[in-house]
């Protein structure tokens, strides 16, 4: 389902929902059974796997790859240029990868060029400036290791 108040220019599987006031550029790749909530922007060089939830107010800039079963909380901020300047565009943007099953808490900032590992969890409001290994919980500003995930259903 694509809400009539969204501007979705990409091919989207029927099993994926895109809610109102979203903008999806034509070359974006979006998988099956995703839920893209209201007020989300998805640029061209973005890949989204299957069973992904992206909550309201998220902008996915060129260079972001999200694997299957990932949760991106409301108002998570991604970057794609470490030294941005007005009207100066890069030929290629830094790659940011969210591995299968990871969860990003609300209002977190994900600095470009990093990988968040499989099933990792980022606490709400964290500022992630480096790679996060699989199966770990990271929190804070700057984000730091808190603990390993023992049970994926409870942390």
Is the confidence at residue 123, as pLDDT, over 80? Answer: yes
Domains observed in the chain: 1-83+90-155 (2.160.10.10)
Q: Give the burial class of 82: count Cβ atoms within 10 A of its Cβ; 0-12 exposed, 13-18 middle, 19 or more buried.
A: exposed
Distance in angstroms (rounded) separating the CA atoms of residues 38 and 59: 11
Q: What tens digit of pLDDT does each residue of 38-52 get?
A: 999 999 999 999 999
Cβ contact 141:90 at 8 Å: no
Distance in angstroms (rounded) separating the CA atoms of residues 121 and 123: 6
**Nearest partner of 128 among 147, 114, 148, judged by Cα:** 114
Q: What tens digit of pLDDT does each residue of 11-28 get?
A: 999 999 999 999 999 999
Q: What tens digit of pLDDT does each residue of 64-96 get?
A: 999 999 999 999 999 999 999 999 989 999 999
**Nearest partner of 82 among 118, 49, 112, judged by Cα:** 112
Q: Is 0.85 topped by the overall pTM? A: yes
pLDDT category of residue 150 using cuts at 50, 70 and 90: confident
pLDDT category of residue 153 using cuts at 50, 70 and 90: low
């Amino acid at each position: 389902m694509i809400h009539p108040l969204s501007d979705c220019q990409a091919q989207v599987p029927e099993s994926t929902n895109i809610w109102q006031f979203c903008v999806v550029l034509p070359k974006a790749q979006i998988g099956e059974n995703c839920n893209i909530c209201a007020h989300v922007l998805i640029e061209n060089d973005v890949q989204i796997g299957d069973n992904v939830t992206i909550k309201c107010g998220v902008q996915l800039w060129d260079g972001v790859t999200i694997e299957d079963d990932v949760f991106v909380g409301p108002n998570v901020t991604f970057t794609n240029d470490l030294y941005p300047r007005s009207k100066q565009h890069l030929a290629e943007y830094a790659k940011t990868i969210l591995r299968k099953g990871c969860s990003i808490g609300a209002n977190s900032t994900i600095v470009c060029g990093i990988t968040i590992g499989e099933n990792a969890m980022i606490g709400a409001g964290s500022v992630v400036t480096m790679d996060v290994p699989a199966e770990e919980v990271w929190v804070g500003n700057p984000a730091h290791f808190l603990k390993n995930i023992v049970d994926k259903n409870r942390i």
